[in-house]
Amino acid sequence: MEINKNKLINWLIVTTILLVIIYLSVFVRLSTLDAPTILDYDPWWYYRHALEIMNNNLIPPKWDYQTFYPPGRPYEVQLGFEYTMILFYKIAQLFFKNISFMFIAKISPL
């Protein structure tokens, strides 16, 4: 089977560019892991809701009392990332007994 050199070179260039992009994105994300808390609003929102769902036996609440204080607002159903964080936390607890949910929330976007 003969391999076309141009196709191989194009494939290597594209693969190299993708690997550099992945490396840079992980490097940028890892630079914030030393912070004691989550540094942005959206990840904090997901962390807060994931913790609330986990403490409520995996049932999402009907009302979010911590937004639009004092009345709150109905809970917006966006459960993919919250349940993913909970799953990562439960798996990590099997290997590391003292791992915190905050640490899992910080590394879960990786």
Distance between CA atoms of 19 and 5, rounded to whole angstroms?
21
For residue 79, the 8-state DSSP code is: -
Q: Which of 8-12, 21-25, 33-37 bottoms out in mean pLDDT, i.e. has the lowest?
A: 33-37
Tell me how crowded residue 99 is: count the other CB atoms within 10 A of its CB.
14
To the question of pTM greater than 0.85 for the whole model, the response is: no
pLDDT in tens, 44-70: 888 888 999 999 998 888 887 777 777
